[in-house]
Amino acid sequence: MAEKPEDLNLPNAVITRIIKEALPDGVNVSKEARRAISQAASVFVLYATSCANNFAMKAKRKTLNAGDVMSAMEEMEFERFLQPLREALEAYKKGQKGKKEASEQKRKDKEKKNSPGENDKSRDEEEDEHMDDEQEGENEGEEEDVEN
């Protein structure tokens, strides 16, 4: 599935929502303006990625990390984003931690459940496999395979 960058758009509904929430009530947005903003957003992602990747490469890392993105924002002159991004990242990390603990807890519960020999296989066997993967993932920045 060879997708060209031009073909990858962000979902209109979400873009529209973000725009609406940023503007005061009573303001409308033409379809063309919305489309242009959506395109601009895609370009932004590509540009930010490229910039961030440069930092990763400079540091001889193959994996792009959050720090690289922060550096990219600075480089792109979007310093105003840094603070909100840092806060969001903190919340995200906490959320990740919570999920990991939750899935570990689930797994423990499951083991307890399975031992009495219950044949109740109904529950997500898939989930079990998935959790294996999660366990293997590194703590900090689980890597997503973005390999080309």
Partner 1 sequence: MATTVSELDRSGAEDEPRSAEPEEDGGNGQAGPIAAAQQHRLAKLPLSRIKALMKADPDVSLASQESVFIIAKATELFVEMIAKDALVYAQQGKRKTLQRKDLDNAIEAIDEFAFLEGTLD
Interacting positions 60-99 with partner 1 (CB under 8 A):
62-66, 68-70, 73, 76-78, 80-81, 84-85, 87-93, 95-96, 98-99
Query: Residue 83 or residue 119: which is nearer to partner 1 going by CB?
Result: 83
32 in contact with partner 1 (CB under 8 A):
yes
106 in contact with partner 1 (CB under 8 A):
yes
Picking from 130, 81, 92, the residue whose alpha carbon sits closest to that of residue 110 is 130
| 73 Cβ neighbours under 8 A, 6+ residues apart | 48, 79, 81, 82, 85
Helix (H) or strand (E) holding 128: helix 125-136
> Pick from 12, 40, 59, 113: which binds partner 1 (CB under 8 A)?
40
Q: What is the CA radius of gyration of the chain?
A: 21
109 in contact with partner 1 (CB under 8 A):
no
